[in-house]
Amino acid sequence: MKRVLVLFILSMFSFSLFGQTNETAKLILTLAERSGSVPSFFTKYYKVKAWSTKQSKPIPQDNDVWTLSNFQAAMDVSTKKPIDWGVNGDRYVVVKVVTDNNNRPYHVRDDLAGTEHCLTFSLELYEFNGKFVKTISKWGYLLGSGYHGVVYVQQGIYPTFLSSVAVAKGGTLTYRVYDGSVTHLSNLVDESDLRVALREKKVDLPDDIPLQLSCTFPPKPVFDAAKTAILEKMKSESPFLQVKYYQNGVYDAGKRDFPKPNQRWSFWNMFIASEITNRCPIDWGPNGDRYIQFDAEFEDKRNYSALEDDMYSTGKRFLFPLRLYEKDGRFVKTISSFGNFFGFGEGSFVFMQDAKNEIATLFTKLPVEIDKPFSYKVDKRTVTKISELLTFKPIQ
């Protein structure tokens, strides 16, 4: 029924669109670019997250359990050599959706409005600063999309695993596939958005999808010497503020409810960690060795996430933003400006970024499997004073 509606809308404008097929094709392409339905469109894949691989089956089906093995240096189909990651090894690749005028294998066909306009995917190489370097693959297809990553097949030759998790050269990874292959427009766009675009002849969605490093939000400057001294003392004395968290200790958690003391808190699935500033996966850097760490700030206006000071006699309240740093300690960006803490126990806890329920970020050193349930025993439901937070010792 929904497809009939789309076809009806398209037919209503057939006269105005006749002879303007390029306009329709542009609408479809723009909508696919801006939909945000495919994480690869806005994720930077560095050398440590892009691998040539062997597949357990050529084309997986939806919900298949798929195995990728023998991870090796990712190839470049345009040179038939390994990808040139640059002098510093910090270039990255991004998947881009493009128009396909040649009906390439496994192209994306329009199964919604029934037009003849097809799409495919290119693989683009960029410098660390975002400067375009080259198109590695002019066309290709996406296979085995899941929480662990996706395989991009360069021009039907080189299967390249674009990983969301840490893998090692020569390694093996088995995971459940959610989209066996992206070959339909309905895999990329929302049907209601397409109806609106065809009716209004424009795409009313944001014109860019932010990459992972956008929105830096540096720490707020403190011009008061006494306040600066308090913050430095707090950081030097707190086990909690001294802990550095790397990608294998941070996850997004699908929580069932809020925690209760002396009970196990269950999560229906674990995912790769993301950030609320741009809804992208955390960018762990070219070598995968960046870390995140909590900071402390004086509350400058009323914020219900702020905690009372019961340690330093300031009479003030404090916020605890989460920041991303390079391995050597250089600031990269702020992941979340503030948030609420829940579920302290077994060295684990959850941070609700920006105090919203959109992203529940779990910090733990307990064994976790992506795309699997998880639980741990809670000692304390939440915190209201800084002593309850600053003295907490996560598992090291």
Is residue 385 left, alpha or beta, with left meaning phi > 0 and alpha meaning psi from -120 to 50?
beta
Mean local confidence (pLDDT), 10-24: 53
pLDDT at residue 320 is higher than 60: yes
CA angle 177, 266, 374 (to 5 degrees): 45
pLDDT at residue 15 is higher than 50: no
3 state DSSP class of 40: helix
Q: What is the mean pLDDT of the chain?
A: 90
Contact 73, 83 (CB under 8 A): yes
Residue 144 phi/psi, 5-degree rounding, is 60, 40
pLDDT at residue 8 is higher than 60: no
Query: Which pTM was predicted?
Result: 0.87
pLDDT tier for residue 11 given thresholds of 50, 70 and 90: very low
pLDDT at residue 261 is higher than 90: yes
Instruction: Report pLDDT digits (tens) over 103-152.
Output: 888 899 999 988 888 999 999 999 998 899 999 999 999 999 999 999 99
With a pLDDT cut of 90, the percent of the chain lying above it is 73
3 state DSSP class of 317: strand
Beta bridge partners of 255: 267
Segments in the chain forming alpha helices (H): 2-12, 14-17, 21-34, 191-200, 225-237, 239-242, 386-390
Other beta carbons within 10 Å of 218: 10
pLDDT of residue 19: 42
Tokens standing for 354?
């920006």
Q: What distance in Å separates the CA atoms of residue 141 and residue 121, rounded to the nearest whole number? A: 6
